[in-house]
Amino acid sequence: MDDLKKALLARKDVIIRNLTSKMLGYALGRGLTLGDSCTVDQIAAQIAKDNYSAQTLIRGIVLSVPFRYQAGTILNKAVKETE
């Protein structure tokens, strides 16, 4: 168990970037595109800066441009129907 912990801590940045990618993809309900990589990089950098806080991960996803401005959401469809 100690060896696993050491191995994971040695690659902390890789693990955080992968976790961020998976969580963002889940939040968006789609696979990530090449354009999403900048968002993933920004969120992962902020997580590292904030001492790997899970709260920073969630906040970063929720405040990200891809999450806030998703095309085809129910709200966007409702607005188009009323026009």
User: pLDDT at position 67, please?
Assistant: 93
The Cα-based distances of 45 to 1, 15, 34, 39 in angstroms read 28, 12, 18, 10
Mean pLDDT for the stretch of residues 72-83: 56
Q: What one-letter code names the amino acid at 73?
A: T
Q: Which pair of tokens denotes residue 40?
A: 């993933």
Q: Is the pLDDT of residue 79 over 60?
A: no
What would the pLDDT profile of 62-76 be if each residue is shown by its tens digit? 999 999 987 665 555
In Å, how far from its chain's centre is CA 62?
8
Given a contact cutoff of 8 angstroms between Cβ atoms, the answer to whether 44 and 13 are in contact is yes
User: pLDDT at position 73, please?
Assistant: 56
Q: Which pair of tokens denotes residue 75?
A: 């709200």
What would the pLDDT profile of 22-52 be if each residue is shown by its tens digit? 999 999 999 999 989 999 999 999 999 999 9
Q: Which pair of tokens denotes residue 4?
A: 């696993």
